[in-house]
Structure 1
Amino acid sequence: MTEDGLAADTGWFGRYDVLAIVAGIWFLAKAIRYAFPPLFDELKLTFEVSNTAVGTAFTGFMIVYAVMQFPSGLLSDRIGPTRVIGAGVLTAAVGAAIIVVDGPFALLVAAMLILGAGTGAHKTVAIKLLAVAYPSRTGRTLGIFDTLGTFGGVVAPLLVAGVITVGLKWRRLFLIAALAGVLLGIAVLVRVPERLPDSTDKRENREVSLRAYAEPFTDTRFLTFVIVTLGFSFTYNGVVAFLPLYLNQAVETTSSVASLLYSIIFAVSIVQIFTGELADRVGRLRVINVTLVVATVSLALLLLSSTMSLTVYGVPVLGTVAVMGVGLGSHGFRPVRGVHLEALLPESLAGGGLGAVRSALMGAGAIAPTAVGYLADRTNFTVAFGLLLGTLTVATVLALGLLLTDSDLSVHRKRHRRQ
């Protein structure tokens, strides 16, 4: 055994082989998801359908993805995480392979639903698996994991643009995805189990009642942190959905400048690696509070930027600083959130418990664009983003309360309960 939970290994993969495989699958999953929006025009032309049709198909993809969070986590508690992850990525490979086939629009929709199910079985279970594999470096590991996933979202639109520019068929992208899924599925099923502690995947027929998954929510601190994450998810998804329009209409930037600033939010996602490792060193709640404060203050500055006209070559100075701060705080928070949730849950309920929370988070995130859009139509984007600032402020105050009431005794009790 290494200093973490991995079995000793001298191969070329070395110490980070499990992380490389699991993060590679997450990169593929995010790349598949974010390849669809840039392809909407191509899909409309290929299948002669409307914006509503392609939009509804993508909504179906996301709904199935969200629904899969809890059952995949629950299943991982019973049969082990590697089997669930392997089945998920192979299912996604099947969905991608179906898209390669030249068929009707209904076949594409069916394939997208299969992709939603396959990719939806990954992250909740992956958090649990990585926490077992790297217990002394969970924060750093999840930071790298989340960063690679974000880069999958960055790479996908570029690949789509490249394929379309050179005149290749867009279906070839999904052929590559299908082949990559098969290779990664084989890798996770063959390589990962032999590198984990013996007990990790030996959970066949374990019976955990559904009622047991509700027990963590009776703990005040756990429930409070879930509320914190819900508030963050609502705010982040609202900002991401409408930031370009906010910059264009409220801050009065050009569309090109708004797009440039929008890309900054994702470009700074590399901060996840550092906040994850920092959480391992100084404590999760401290990093959580710092990142939430940065995001909250930055969002307030973004609202203030609508009243300030200082620009350099057409780029709003305060708006740029604010967008960068929102990105740093938001991305910095996300991996530590996963580590903290996993640590608060009993080991026997970690998969299903995380799945339940993630389903709630995605539900809150799905509501945000509708709420922001409605307020913007009825009033303006400043009022709509004011709602997001208020929600994030409440989440930050609650997180501060958790930090101020934290103690070594509560940590000791948690460790004792998990043993």
Structure 2
Amino acid sequence: MTTAFAPEERRILGSVSGAHFVSHVHILALPPLFPLLRDSMGVTFLELGFALTLFNIVSACTQAPMGFLVDRVGPRRALVSGLLLGGFAFAMAGIGGSYAWLLAAMALAGLANAVYHPADYAILGSSIQEAHVGRAFSLHTFAGYAGSAVAPALMLGAASLGGVGFALVLAGLLGPLAALPLLREALAERSQPARAKPAPGAPRLLNAAVMTLLAFFVLIALSNSSIQGFAVSAWNAAHGTSLTAGNIALTAWLAMSAAGVLVGGYVADRTKRHGLVAAAGLGCAALLFLVAGSIAWSPLPLLLVMGLSGFLSGMIMPSRDMLVRAAAPPGQAGAVFGVVSTGFNIGGMAGPLACGWLLDHGQPQMVFIAAASCLGLAVASALWQETRRVRRVSLAAAE
């Protein structure tokens, strides 16, 4: 088995991961600037929050259709278009300088954001050798983590140098910059013969496996958004854990998730039992959530528990993506990734509302129980996928 990426694979992986990096910078470009935007535009934080809500609503509503478009026009052409549209949106927000321009820009940015997952995974799944796909998915995911980590410092640093408008325009310029390495392949896609339409299309796509994976993504997003947004407040309310200790533990969870993603790529390339990997990792992470929320830990044990939970949560991500790839009918990888990735938006919108309600009603420990319960249901989904795979292999061997 070849263990190293070929030069062409490295080039493709670098360009697609660069696009994913930019997409995460764009997702987190506004929040660090909220205090400055409030003063410069004369708006409230609620109005600024609505701009982010608009971004997520547009992205959630268009991600599945964008997946179908990716399969029709080609993933590279779609990805270049998304990068250029996202870049234009943020440049427009910076130049326009008003709240109305900001809302229009966030709607366009949400549309651009809907392109990334279906296009990225379609390119990687078709361009990387089978022995390397797991690692390719893990490096792609890690690039997104890196974009999220860089965004606050980048935006605040740019704003300190040239103001809010300059920072937004700079974020916009990242889109065309990331599109440059993809342009040659995008033009080559344009010259290829028209892609054949999958038949019969939607009935093949919206099968039990794909819909189960959509639920799987929703459950993981519900759990992760609950922990990321409300764990610190829940620890403080339930056990009097200081905000400093809680934030350190949450940071450990996020950092170790990123480390786990890299390790998970090697795991995914060394097994076909991706459902078992996902089930084992998520099951252990769920138990650790219960442990973290049920006891008044001192800072160091809490950091260790959450760090291990984050590592396990990150480790399953490449196997999660391999499950989606295996469920995609031929020629419909973009559409399938578009459909299941909608689960991120659904869970990301519902999780914070549910956890906020629990905290408002004096049930902080239920935040961890709810997060663990969602992962428990995700374990059942992963095991169903694994059972289905084993049955399919057995039937193929019997023929």
Q: TM-score, normalised by structure 2?
A: 0.89
User: Higher mean Cα deviation, 55-64 or 374-383?
Assistant: 374-383
User: Is the CA contact 1:57–1:112 (under 8 Å) kept in the aligned structure 2?
Assistant: yes
Partner of 2:261: 272
Q: Distance in 2 between matches of 1:182 and 1:95?
A: 12
Q: Distance in 2 between matches of 1:34 and 1:303?
A: 28
Q: Distance in 2 between matches of 1:81 and 1:412?
A: 33
Classify 1:105/1:222 alpha carbon distance in 2 versus 1 (closer, same or farther; 3 Å): closer
Partner of 2:349: 366
Q: How does 1:161-240 map to 2 (within 5 A)?
A: 161-164=156-159, 166=160, 168-191=162-185, 202=192, 204=194, 206-208=196-198, 212-219=201-208, 221-240=209-228
Residue 222 (structure 1) shift: 4.7
Classify 1:214/1:242 alpha carbon distance in 2 versus 1 (closer, same or farther; 3 Å): farther
User: Is the CA contact 1:213–1:352 (under 8 Å) kept in the aligned structure 2?
Assistant: no
Q: Deviations over 1:98-146 (max 9, x none)?
A: 1221432101111121122112211121111101111321110010000
User: Higher mean Cα deviation, 244-253 or 26-35?
Assistant: 244-253
Classify 1:101/1:382 alpha carbon distance in 2 versus 1 (closer, same or farther; 3 Å): same
Partner of 1:286: 276
Give the letter aligned to residue 194 of structure 2: E
Partner of 1:342: 325
Q: Distance in 2 between matches of 1:201 and 1:391?
A: 46
Q: Distance in 2 between matches of 1:99 and 1:169?
A: 13
Does residue 242 of the first structure (1) align with residue 230 of the second (2)? yes
User: Higher mean Cα deviation, 372-381 or 78-87?
Assistant: 372-381
Residue 229 (structure 1) shift: 3.0
Residue 266 (structure 1) shift: 2.1
Give the letter aligned to residue 151 of structure 2: A
Give the letter aligned to residue 33 of structure 1: I
Residue 215 (structure 1) shift: 3.0
Does residue 79 of the first structure (1) align with residue 69 of the second (2)? no
Classify 1:360/1:316 alpha carbon distance in 2 versus 1 (closer, same or farther; 3 Å): same
Q: How does 1:2-401 map to 2 (within 5 A)?
A: 14-136=8-130, 137-164=132-159, 166=160, 168-191=162-185, 202=192, 204=194, 206-208=196-198, 212-219=201-208, 221-268=209-256, 269-283=258-272, 284-305=274-295, 308-309=296-297, 311=298, 315-317=299-301, 319-401=302-384
Q: Distance in 2 between matches of 1:106 and 1:252?
A: 42
User: Is the CA contact 2:77–2:187 (under 8 Å) kept in the aligned structure 1?
Assistant: no
Residue 244 (structure 1) shift: 2.0
Q: Equivalent residue of 1:35, what SS? A: coil
User: Is the CA contact 2:210–2:327 (under 8 Å) kept in the aligned structure 1?
Assistant: yes
Q: Distance in 2 between matches of 1:39 and 1:259?
A: 21
Classify 1:184/1:162 alpha carbon distance in 2 versus 1 (closer, same or farther; 3 Å): closer
User: Higher mean Cα deviation, 19-28 or 223-232?
Assistant: 223-232
Q: Equivalent residue of 2:201, what SS? A: helix
Give the letter aligned to residue 253 of structure 2: I
Residue 87 (structure 1) shift: 0.6
Classify 1:68/1:361 alpha carbon distance in 2 versus 1 (closer, same or farther; 3 Å): same
Q: Equivalent residue of 1:101, what SS? A: helix
Q: Distance in 1 between matches of 2:319 and 2:193?
A: 27
Structure 1, unaligned runs of 5 or more = none
User: Is the CA contact 1:233–1:361 (under 8 Å) kept in the aligned structure 2?
Assistant: yes
User: Is the CA contact 1:292–1:330 (under 8 Å) kept in the aligned structure 2?
Assistant: yes
User: Is the CA contact 1:81–1:201 (under 8 Å) kept in the aligned structure 2?
Assistant: no
User: Is the CA contact 2:214–2:341 (under 8 Å) kept in the aligned structure 1?
Assistant: no
Q: Distance in 2 between matches of 1:39 and 1:333?
A: 33
Residue 55 (structure 1) shift: 0.4
Classify 1:232/1:413 alpha carbon distance in 2 versus 1 (closer, same or farther; 3 Å): farther
Residue 329 (structure 1) shift: 2.1
Q: Deviations over 1:186-241 (max 9, x none)?
A: 321214676xxx8x9846264347x733434444x554444333322221122112
User: Is the CA contact 1:78–1:203 (under 8 Å) kept in the aligned structure 2?
Assistant: no
User: Is the CA contact 1:294–1:325 (under 8 Å) kept in the aligned structure 2?
Assistant: no
Residue 174 (structure 1) shift: 2.6
Classify 1:216/1:100 alpha carbon distance in 2 versus 1 (closer, same or farther; 3 Å): closer
User: Is the CA contact 2:97–2:165 (under 8 Å) kept in the aligned structure 1?
Assistant: no
User: Is the CA contact 1:253–1:316 (under 8 Å) kept in the aligned structure 2?
Assistant: no
Classify 1:404/1:345 alpha carbon distance in 2 versus 1 (closer, same or farther; 3 Å): closer
Q: TM-score, normalised by structure 1?
A: 0.85
Structure 2, unaligned runs of 5 or more = none
Classify 1:101/1:238 alpha carbon distance in 2 versus 1 (closer, same or farther; 3 Å): same
Q: Distance in 2 between matches of 1:192 and 1:322?
A: 45
> In percent, how many aligned pairs have the same letter?
22
User: Is the CA contact 2:223–2:374 (under 8 Å) kept in the aligned structure 1?
Assistant: yes
Q: CA RMSD in A?
A: 2.7
Count of residues in correspondence between the two structures: 393
